[in-house]
Amino acid sequence: MSTGETWGAAFASATTDSMSVYDRIMVPRIFDPWADLLLDCVGVAPGDAVLDVATGPGTVARRAAVRAGASGRVSACDLSPAMLVMATAKPPDGGAAPITYLHGPAEALDVPDEAFDLALCQQGLQFFPDRAGALTEMRRALRPGGRLGVAVWCAIHECPPFEALAVAFERVLGAEVALTFRTGPWGLPDPGELGRLVDAAGFTGVEVVRRTLPVVFEGGPSQLLATAGAAVVAPLIAALDERGRADLLAAATEALAPLTDAGAVRSELASHVVTARR
């Protein structure tokens, strides 16, 4: 199993409690702003039918639903029951397209052929056991001329707060744990490989661009470290005794010092955004 697949399996078996940190800390500071960027890149028109693959707690689906409006429709799938519990618990936005949430893998989408104007996948592809199969499924679900938008993080050193966390994990939990962290969400960093994957799935007009957005953890290193509760390393951190947890926070605080200003961690994250057409 690749590291990305290990992370994917961990999401799938996670409890809602452990994933709540993702929704509470990561979504507003990271995934919501990136969802807006992805939707700007792809373009959503009123009335569009939108498919969001690996929707997590409905991040892209909900923002696409607002843009598609009441005459649109959104289907959103994820493999993680915990993520879908959080997604379905959120009240719909006024005037937004209805969202249907589906439990299942990206590699076997439970949707009809040629049913969508847009297929979107934000920070999911790197976790799929069969990336080519998932892209083929997204193409199958798109009507001819329909548009694809996929976002995948660049290398972890281009996402400095998380590279600093990896350094802290290496110091306290060891090199192997740090490598597992580094090569999960940041495990598909080559824009050439990304473009070739989308191209090989039969899409046309494939474009890969590198984008950056600022990120702020106003709660400082401890708030950023808390996001590891939704990561593959979470059980190892939970198993640390009080001294171990203090060592980890000290290591994270030290590694994050160049990014910390008046108690807040301020930096930027870089992602590749792929757009293409069926």
> Which residues bind to ligand SAM, rule: CB under 6 A?
8, 11-12, 27, 31, 54-56, 59-60, 78-80, 83, 105-106, 122-124, 127-128
Nearest of 35, 89, 87, 92 to residue 64 by alpha carbon: 35
Residue nearest to ligand SAM (CB): 56
**Smaller CB distance to ligand SAM: residue 152 or 237?**
152
Q: What's the rounded Cα separation, in Å, for the pair 162 and 111? A: 35
Which CB atom, from 78 or from 158, has the smaller least distance to ligand SAM? 78
The number of helices, as runs of H, and strands, as runs of E, in the chain is 12, 8
- The nearest distance, CB 11 to ligand SAM, in angstroms, is 3
Kindly state the smallest distance separating residue 50's Cβ from ligand SAM, in Å: 13
Residue 24 and residue 278: Cα distance in Å, rounded? 35
**Based on CB atoms, which residue is closest to ligand SAM, 59 or 275?**
59
C-alpha to C-alpha distances, 121 to 42, 82, 149, 170, 239, nearest whole angstrom: 11, 18, 6, 30, 33
Least Å distance, CB 94 to ligand SAM, is: 22
CB 63 within 8 A of CB 78: no
Q: How far apart are the C-alpha atoms of 257 and 209, rounded to whole Å?
A: 30
Q: How far is the CB of 55 from ligand SAM (least distance, A)?
A: 6
Q: Which is nearer to ligand SAM, 127 or 260 (CB)?
A: 127
Nearest distance from residue 184's CB to ligand SAM, in Å? 9
**What residue type is 136 in one-letter code?**
T
* Cβ distance to ligand SAM smaller for residue 79 or 224: 79
Region class of 231: left (phi > 0), else alpha (psi between -120 and 50), else beta: beta
Closest CB to ligand SAM among 8 and 72?
A: 8
Burial class (CB in 10 A: 0-12, 13-18, 19+), 85: middle
| Of the candidates 159, 105, 180, the residue with the CA atom closest to the CA atom of residue 136 | 105
Strands (E) across 90-140 are located at: 99-103, 116-122
Cβ closest to ligand SAM, residue 25 vs residue 79: 79
CB of 126 to ligand SAM, least distance (A): 8
What minimum distance in Å lies between the beta carbon of 41 and ligand SAM? 14
DSSP bridge pairs for 52 = 76, 120
Show the tokens assigned to 127: 């976790």
Residue 105 beta carbon to ligand SAM: minimum distance, rounded to whole angstroms: 4
Report the distance separating Cα 107 and Cα 165, nearest Å.
Answer: 31
- Indicate the residue among 22 and 169 with the shorter CB distance to ligand SAM: 22
